[in-house]
Structure 1
Amino acid sequence: MPVSLLFRTVRAIQTWIAMTGIRLTARYIFRLRIEVAGRAQIPRGEALIVVGGPHRNWIDGFLMLFVMPNLPRMVFLGSETAQRIWWRRLVLWLTGAFQPVSTTSALNRDALEAGLGVLGRGERLGIFPEGWDHMTDPAREIGNLRRGVAFLAQHSQCRVLPISFAGTTELWRGKTLRVQIGTPIAPPAPESGKATQLTWSESLRATLQAQQPADPPTRPLHEREWPWLTTWLD
């Protein structure tokens, strides 16, 4: 068996095991009620940039993994210093879906190059386009988007799949979470300049905002089981 085929086979098995574990944990241990609309919008077998927002909790990335097909594999880029606690790093490593990158280089070139590499392999790139510093922003307000997604879409010519969340700011066992998957968005033209990228980014922000589901039902504080889930993987 060629080495490349063996690598892809091992990667596919790892992905299946990890995604099965995520779905079983969400349903039977955390007992989350995850309501998903728009699954039919997900293109089959296509390399995509999958963007999620508003990003206010660690669970958002796992929600995106939960709703997307196992293959093509989806990969998130995360700060190489984001997790300093060993067991949290282990959880992320076991999923096979998180790739650490430097976030200190000028213009975040390391992350951009890594993202293009993921797409070039035919995989799907998961991104929170507000950046890594919006976790405490208003729960239902999509912040201004960085141009990184526009750059990646333009240079890869991959479409962008918008996914919006509701109910993820506070977590507890049995919480209802809502996910809306939108229509894939065409990338900016290859010759686009900064102005076009900014306009395209604002259109993406407006899409994420407009398709956001209604907030799910809540519970009084004294009725919330396992409220520590809110910050479990922070």
Structure 2
Amino acid sequence: MWYWLFKYILLGPILFALGRPTIEGAQHLPADGPAILASNHKAVMDSFYLPLRAPRRITFLAKSEYFTGTGFTGRFQRWFFTAAGQVPIDRTGADAAADALAAGLRVLGGGKLLGIYPEGTRSPDGRLYKGKTGMARMALAAGVPVIPVAMIGTEKLNPIGSRWPRPAKIVVRIGEPIDFSRFHGMAGNRFVERAVTDEVMYKLMQLSGQEYVDIYAATLKKKASASADRVPDTRAG
């Protein structure tokens, strides 16, 4: 119930006013049955505008930190993501990959649409980064199509580090479903999973128009953080 209240009454009208979102390729979304929506990830608002324009409900795998906060903000955040039907996963433990796979397969097993960001984290600079193979593992194990989704303009509405959204034009561009049935029975083969992932990322590059970078975004962020830590403080006093 809360999902639809947020979409049409509590939050949706505000998002429409801010982003004037349009959707292209909506005919590629299946009317029923399970599928994976694999999206680029430029801003937090990606997780708001994609469900806003998709006619069917989308379930995202959300990091468990959204459900473990304290204080008023933590309690509100936990309530919001739980009410919206998002599924928490722990991305830090030794069994993180297996837990995420199991959670995703439960969603798909229920005939739902599962939203995934193959890059694993937001792009630090607007470019498209190498995809992680968890998405491919789920698609092959569940035998479902992968539908590429390009979110365009969200980084202008919700720049990294900004506290408040800024009006901008948002476009949700849906690509044709990719059928990986030719790899039936090959789930767990890391070479096949990499091939599946790279095919999806290539489609995302075409849909979004982003420059592709063949490294993981998380790796770049770690290098940038380590470099910042090594810079000496030369300020007087």
| TM superposition score category, shorter chain reference | 0.7 to 0.9
Q: Residue 112 of structure 2 corresponds to which residue in structure 1?
A: 123
Q: Is the 8 A contact 1:165 1:213 kept in 2?
A: no
Provide the C-alpha distance between the structure 2 equivalents of 1:187 and 1:64, rounded to a whole number of angstroms.
23
Provide the C-alpha distance between the structure 2 equivalents of 1:206 and 1:151, rounded to a whole number of angstroms.
17
Give, as a single letter, the amino acid of the residue that structure 2 aligns with 1:190: H
Q: Is the 8 A contact 2:101 2:134 kept in 1?
A: yes
Q: Is the 8 A contact 2:66 2:77 kept in 1?
A: no
Provide the C-alpha distance between the structure 2 equivalents of 1:74 and 1:66, rounded to a whole number of angstroms.
10
Secondary structure, aligned partner of 2:200? helix
Provide the C-alpha distance between the structure 1 equivalents of 2:209 and 2:153, rounded to a whole number of angstroms.
9
Provide the C-alpha distance between the structure 1 equivalents of 2:5 and 2:172, rounded to a whole number of angstroms.
23
Provide the C-alpha distance between the structure 1 equivalents of 2:180 and 2:6, rounded to a whole number of angstroms.
30
Q: Residue 100 of structure 1 corresponds to which residue in structure 2?
A: 88
The one-character-per-residue Cα deviations of 1:39-90 (angstroms, maximum 9, x if unpaired) are 111111121111110x1211001121112123xx321111111463323333
> Larger Rg: 1 or 2?
2
Which runs of 5 or more structure 1 residues have no equivalent in the other structure? Answer: 1-12, 215-234
Secondary structure, aligned partner of 1:49? strand
Q: Residue 206 of structure 1 corresponds to which residue in structure 2?
A: 202
**Which residue of the other structure, out of 65, 70, 74, is the alignment partner of 1:81?**
65
Secondary structure, aligned partner of 2:170? strand
Provide the C-alpha distance between the structure 2 equivalents of 1:129 and 1:15, rounded to a whole number of angstroms.
24
**Which residue of the other structure, out of 152, 175, 182, is the alignment partner of 1:182?**
175
**Which residue of the other structure, out of 20, 25, 45, is the alignment partner of 2:14?**
25
Secondary structure, aligned partner of 1:175? coil
The one-character-per-residue Cα deviations of 1:180-202 (angstroms, maximum 9, x if unpaired) are 10001113522222212211111
The 10-residue stretch of structure 1 (37-46 or 166-175) with the greater mean CA deviation from structure 2 = 166-175
**Which residue of the other structure, out of 42, 46, 62, is the alignment partner of 2:33?**
46
1:166 CA displacement: 1.7
Give, as a single letter, the amino acid of the residue that structure 2 aligns with 1:126: G
The 10-residue stretch of structure 1 (44-53 or 31-40) with the greater mean CA deviation from structure 2 = 31-40
Provide the C-alpha distance between the structure 2 equivalents of 1:197 and 1:80, rounded to a whole number of angstroms.
25
Q: Residue 228 of structure 2 corresponds to which residue in structure 1?
A: none
Provide the C-alpha distance between the structure 2 equivalents of 1:107 and 1:199, rounded to a whole number of angstroms.
22
1:102 CA displacement: 1.4
Q: Residue 191 of structure 1 corresponds to which residue in structure 2?
A: 185
1:92 CA displacement: 2.4
The one-character-per-residue Cα deviations of 1:113-138 (angstroms, maximum 9, x if unpaired) are 00000000111111001003x442x2
Give, as a single letter, the amino acid of the residue that structure 2 aligns with 1:76: F
TM, length-normalised to structure 1 = 0.75
Give, as a single letter, the amino acid of the residue that structure 2 aligns with 1:63: Y
Secondary structure, aligned partner of 1:179? strand
Q: Is the 8 A contact 1:33 1:175 kept in 2?
A: yes
Which runs of 5 or more structure 2 residues have no equivalent in the other structure? Answer: 158-164, 211-237
Secondary structure, aligned partner of 1:176? coil
Query: Equivalent pairs: percent with the same residue?
Result: 24
1:17 CA displacement: 2.2
How many residues are treated as equivalent by the alignment? Answer: 193
Secondary structure, aligned partner of 2:208? coil
Give, as a single letter, the amino acid of the residue that structure 2 aligns with 1:187: F
Secondary structure, aligned partner of 1:122? coil
